[in-house]
Structure 1
Amino acid sequence: MKHPLPIIVAEIQKHERKLSAEAPCFIDEAYKMTSYLQELLRSVKEDVLKEGFSSKDEEIHFFKLVKPYILGKLIYYNKVYRIETACPASNGNLHQCYFGLQLRELKQEYKEHICNSEFYRYYSSGRTDRDEHYYTLGNINYYDGLNSFVFEIDPNFSTYFDYKVAKIIANELIYNYLTTKLSPGLNPDVLLQDGDAKDIFWTQTKNALIELIYALHAADAVSHGKLGIRKISMVFQILFRVSLNDIHHSFHRMKTRAGSRTAFLDQLKISLEEYMDKDL
C-alpha cells in the first residue's frame, strides 16, 4: 500500500508535537507546519507521478484518505496563519468581533458549498459504493458544474473530490480553532456540571502549571503523547479556571532562567516524599 494513512498521520502528529513544544508562538508553529506539509505533499506527489498505483484499491485509499489528510491539514494551518497574522488585538471586543466574523464566514461557506451537496451526503454517510468514481483519476465530469479551480488542478494528481474531502477536514479543524478562540474557557460550568467542581482552582503560580503541562507532554503521559501542548493546556485551563495566555513564551523563559529550570517539579518531588514519610 502506497503511503498508508496510519504512517502519514503518525509522521504529521510527530512533527506537530515537536513544533508545539519548540515554536515560540502559534503563528510560528502554523507557518512551519504549512511549510512542512507543503513539502510533504510535494514529495508524495512526486512519488505518485513516478510510480503510479499498483491497484484500484490503492488508488482509492490514497485519494480518499491519504492526500485529503495532508491537504486538509495544509489548508488548516495556512488559514490559521492568515487569521493570526491579521488579528487586530490580543483581547477585548475587537478581538472577539474579529474571530466572530471569521466563524460566521466559515459557517456561510459550509452552508453554500458543502452541506447541501450530493458528495457531502455521500461522504458523511460513510458510503463506499461510488468510491471508484470519486477517488480514481480520470473521472472529472465538467458537466456537473464544478468550481472553476478545477481547471487549475493537476489531473494526474487529483480526482477533484480528494480536494473536497480535504476542505471538509480543514473546515472542521478551523471551526474547532475558532470556537476555542471565542470561548477559551469553553464555559467551565457546563463542562464541570458537579457543583463541587466550582471549588477546584489552581493555587500555585501560572508558571508552575505550565511547567507541569510541559512535563506531562514530554513524558507522553496524556493520550500517549498524541495531544499537543495547546490541547493539554486547554484541559487544565478549563479544569482550574485559569488563563495561561501564551504558554510558549513562558516555557522558553523557563529554559533560560537562573537556578533550577524545573523548580515546581523539584518541589513536587520533595512535597510528595515528605507526605510519604508521614505514614511511616
Structure 2
Amino acid sequence: MRNVYNGIILEIERQEEKLAAKVLPIMEEAYQMTIFLQDALAKLKRDVLKDGFENEHYEMKFFRNIKPQILGKLIYYNKVFQVETGCPVRNGKMFIQYFARRLKELKNEFRQSICNTDFYKYYRSGRTDRDELYFKLGKINLKDGLNSDVFEIDLSFSTYYDHKVAHIISNELFYSYLLSKISPEENPETILKHIEDAKDIAWTGSKNALIELIYAFHASGMISNGKIGIRKLGTIFQVLFRTPLGDLHHAFHRMKVRSGSRTAFIDQLKLSLEDYMDKNL
C-alpha cells in the first residue's frame, strides 16, 4: 500500500511540473489537474478497497496525512477552475473586486465553520491522542453533532474527518492563490514582464529546488531577521533568477509528503560543498 501511495504522489508531482513547463493559462492547468487528481483518487480508492491496510497505525496515517493531501489538491484545483471561469474580466478594478469578494467569502467560511471547531484546534496543534477516533473507519459518532454532509460521503473510503483535513489544506492553497490575484504588485509573473533582460543570471536547477531553498531561508529567519514574509521572499528570488515558480504554498505541501528526503536539494548542497572543500584542501 505504501508503494502505491508513493507512486501516485510521484505521478501527481510529474503532472504538475509537466503542466507548469507548458505555461498554460491557469484555467486550463486547473482543469487538467482536476481531471488528473480525480482519476488518481479513484485509483487509490480501488486499491484501498481491494487490499485494505497493513495495520491500524497505517490506516490512521493514511486518513490523516495521505488521502487529504490528494483530495485537498483536487478540491483546490476545482475551486480555481470555477473562479477563473467565472471571472468577468482579465484586469482592472472589476478584476480586483471579483477576487477580493472570493477572498472575503473564504474568510467568512473559515470563521463560521472551521477555525472555532474542536477538531480544527486538535489538528492544528499536532495532537495525535484522538487519532483513533478521528482517523479510523467505522468510528463516526453521530452524537457529536456532525454536519449533514457526513451522509453524502463514502464511508468505506472516508472517516469523515479526513474530508475535514482535505478542506483545511485546500483552503490554505486557495487563500494563497486569491492573495496573488488581488496583490498584482507582488505577483512575480507581473514583475518579470517589466524587468530588463538579465540573461547572465539564471536559475538552472529545478523549480522545486529553488522553492526548497526559499523555504529554508524563511524558516531559518536569516533574512531581515525573519521579518520578511514567504510571499515577498519568494518574489525576490523569482525576480532575481527570472524564474516564475507559481504557487509556493502548494509546492511546499508537495514537499512535506514526498517520498525519500523532504530536503533533497539542501542535502545535495551539503554534499556538493563538502566535495568542493575536499578538493581544495
TM-score (norm 1): 0.70
SS of aligned partner of 1:24: coil
| Correspondence for 1:84 | 84
Distance 1:236 1:17, change over 3 A: farther
> Cα deviation per residue 1:185-227 (whole Å; 9 max; x = unaligned)?
3399xxxxxxxxxxxx83229xx79x957x6558x76247999
Distance 1:26 1:53, change over 3 A: same
Is 2:202 aligned against 1:202? no
> Cα deviation per residue 1:153-200 (whole Å; 9 max; x = unaligned)?
111100000000000000000000000111133399xxxxxxxxxxxx
CA distance in 1, matches of 2:91, 2:137: 47
CA shift, 1:3, in A, is 5.1
User: Within 5 A, what are the aligned runs for 1:79-228?
Assistant: 79-186=79-186, 202-204=195-197, 217=206, 222-223=210-211
SS of aligned partner of 2:140: coil
> Cα deviation per residue 1:14-65 (whole Å; 9 max; x = unaligned)?
2211111125211111001001100000000000001111200110111001
CA distance in 2, matches of 1:102, 1:204: 35
Taking only the aligned residue pairs, the percentage that are identical comes to 47
Higher relative contact order (CA 8 A, sep 6+): 1
CA distance in 2, matches of 1:127, 1:5: 24
Q: Give aligned pairs, total.
A: 222
CA distance in 1, matches of 2:8, 2:187: 35
Q: CA RMSD in A?
A: 3.3
Q: Which has the larger Rg?
A: 1
CA distance in 2, matches of 1:237, 1:89: 29
Unaligned runs of 5+ in 1: 189-200, 247-280
Unaligned runs of 5+ in 2: 189-193, 216-230, 247-281
CA shift, 1:150, in A, is 1.0
CA distance in 1, matches of 2:37, 2:107: 25
CA shift, 1:125, in A, is 0.3
Contact 1:30 1:77 in 2 (8 A): yes
Amino acid at match of 2:77: Y
Distance 1:29 1:187, change over 3 A: closer
CA shift, 1:143, in A, is 1.6
Distance 1:3 1:133, change over 3 A: farther
Amino acid at match of 1:111: R
